[in-house]
Amino acid sequence: WHCSYLLGMSARVASQADEGNTPINVKNLSLGWMIGFLFAVSFVGLFSIVPLRKMMILKYKLTYPSGTATAYLINSFHTPKGAKLANALFQWFFAAADGCGFGSIPTFGLQAYKQRFYFDFSATYVGVGMICPYMVNISLLFGAIISWGIMWPHIASKAGDWYSADLAKSSLHGLQGYRVFIAIATILGDGLFHFIYMLIVTARNFKAQKSGEEESESIVDYDEQKRTEYFLKDQIPNTVAIGGYVVLAAISIGVVPVIFPQLKWYHILVVYMIAPVMAFCNAYGCGLTDWSLASNYGKIAIIIFSSWVGLGHGGIIAGLASCGVMMSIVSTASDLMQDFKTGYLTLASPRSMFVSQVLGTAMGCVMSPLVFWFFYKAYAVGDPDSSYPAPYSLVYRGIALLGVEGISTLPKHCLALAIGFFAGAIVVNIITALLQKFETNGRSTEGEQEEGNDFAPAVASGMICGESLWGVPAAILSLAGLQAPICMKFW
């Protein structure tokens, strides 16, 4: 559950911003309306992606590393989970403050460390890299080199020319604006291509079936055949998915404007019209990299609806509320697809996975606000001088301010670069699709390599889940006010 956009509505965070502190652009947090808002918007996303489950899991064969890791842990408990949990505990002892510990060692030197090139000893990311295909890992590495190695240092050197040199690091009027909008444009370009490509392929397959042609795809692997059989046996009808989306969206369109009068019914309608495309883009990207970029799509909603409503009519609250609607749809869609991947690998019923997700979402709509409310009342959450400054809440409010001011306030060349990368992502995908027909099928694999490929996901699962388990005792230690006894730091 993302709470930064909600904190951005509060008077506590609004007082830290320079503009937009009018009563219509501030909403005090309350447990009642937060729970009601989550119930109104959280279930719609579950129905938005259901009709695409076969395309994502069977046709594209997306890995969904977290879902795969969960499945391997369910299928086999002989993974080195305990070792990774102990490793995470060992690393904690050397991380007494920010910039301390094994996660801050300048592996490639201090200059490279300043440009964010270093190994942070994260077992989770090592495990994700073991599960993800080579092409995804290479793409991420290439993107890191292009951005953090070349583009961001070059743009940073233009401070004072392209943008003001006195801005905060988190300001979207500065370097952060290039990072956010170029990344969003690239992701949208890639996702939009695959969405349109999927529609074309689906239409062609439907036409082929109508004309009596049959797909000549044969499944050789027995395990794969059984998984596909179970995955297709207990279906969720598309009529139920589409009908559920329409009904729940209609309820949300009626409820959300009551909670946030700054948003009108037609604003919410527009959100639900574009949300399925965003949900597909996020679910596809999450299947490749295990990174849900729901917050990025939420930022797009902030920009659009803050600009649409305007500052004088509560554009800041409208943008932040629409961000919550968009993120609820996009994030729950990718989470559900992760569960479908887990069910596919464990021979579980897709229908039971869907029902479980619905029940879990209902519990989250109550439990998450309760836990958040406990922190909010017990600590000065959102206060920059407190133990819980919640810096992203001010970032989200800053994005809303940027929206009401207009894209003309973006730093110089930011919009042109974003458009260029959007087009570039589409062109690269077109070239890749055209070259696929020349791909050779004459691939041979040694027996030992096959065993390694089978064993790698199990090891990766232990690394991902083992390190993640450390988050529970780490949170307890943090609540108790305990810090690591040693700070290992380099300068």
Q: What is the pLDDT of residues 448-472, one digit of tens each?
A: 455 555 566 666 666 666 666 666 6
Q: What is the per-residue pLDDT across 135-194, written as a single tens digit (0 to 9) for each?
A: 778 888 888 889 888 999 999 999 889 998 888 776 778 888 888 788 878 877 887 787
Structure confidence at residue 361 (pLDDT): 93
Q: What is the per-residue pLDDT across 399-435, written as a single tens digit (0 to 9) for each?
A: 888 888 877 778 889 889 989 999 999 999 899 888 8
Percentages (nearest 5) of helix, strand, coil residues in the chain: 70, 0, 30
Q: Decide if pLDDT at 489 tops 70.
A: no
| Whole-number average pLDDT of the chain | 80
Structure confidence at residue 179 (pLDDT): 85
Whether residue 65 contacts residue 133, with contact meaning beta carbons closer than 8 Å, is answered with no
d(CA 326, CA 304): 12
Residue 303 identity: I
Whether residue 284 contacts residue 62, with contact meaning beta carbons closer than 8 Å, is answered with yes
Whether residue 411 contacts residue 174, with contact meaning beta carbons closer than 8 Å, is answered with yes
Show Cβ contacts of residue 378 under 8 Å, excluding neighbours closer than 6 positions.
Answer: none
Q: How many helices (H) and strands (E) does the chain have?
A: 22, 0
Closest CA to 193 of 435, 418, 433: 433
d(CA 437, CA 444): 19
Look at the alpha carbons of 402, 408, 412, 413 in this order and tell me if their dihedral is positive or negative: positive
DSSP string across 333-390: HHHHHHHHHHHHHHT--HHHHHHHHHHHHHHHHHHHHHHHHHHHHHS-TT-TTSS---
Inter-helix orientation angle 65-75/123-131, to 10°: 90
Whether residue 97 contacts residue 477, with contact meaning beta carbons closer than 8 Å, is answered with no
- Greater model confidence, 447 or 102: 102
* Percentage, residues of the chain above pLDDT 70: 78
d(CA 174, CA 155): 9
Least confident of 23-27, 107-111, 295-299: 107-111
Whether residue 24 contacts residue 262, with contact meaning beta carbons closer than 8 Å, is answered with yes
Environment class of residue 155 by beta-carbon count within 10 Å: exposed (0-12), middle (13-18) or buried (19+)?
Answer: buried
Q: Decide if pLDDT at 94 tops 60.
A: no
Phi, psi of 95 (to 5 degrees): -120, 65
Quickly tell me which residue has 């690393």 as its tokens.
91
Structure confidence at residue 455 (pLDDT): 61
Q: Where are the strands (E) in 177-307, listed by range?
A: none
How many CB atoms lie under 10 A from the CB of residue 246?
13
Q: Decide if pLDDT at 32 tops 80.
A: yes
Any idea what the Cα angle at residue 93 is, between residues 91 and 96, rounded to 5°? 105
User: Which tokens sit at 47?
Assistant: 């129905």
Whether residue 467 contacts residue 87, with contact meaning beta carbons closer than 8 Å, is answered with yes
Closest CA to 402 of 324, 293, 327, 323: 323
What residues form DSSP beta bridges with 163? 159
d(CA 263, CA 317): 8
Half-sphere exposure of residue 410: CA atoms within 13 angstroms, side-chain side: 18
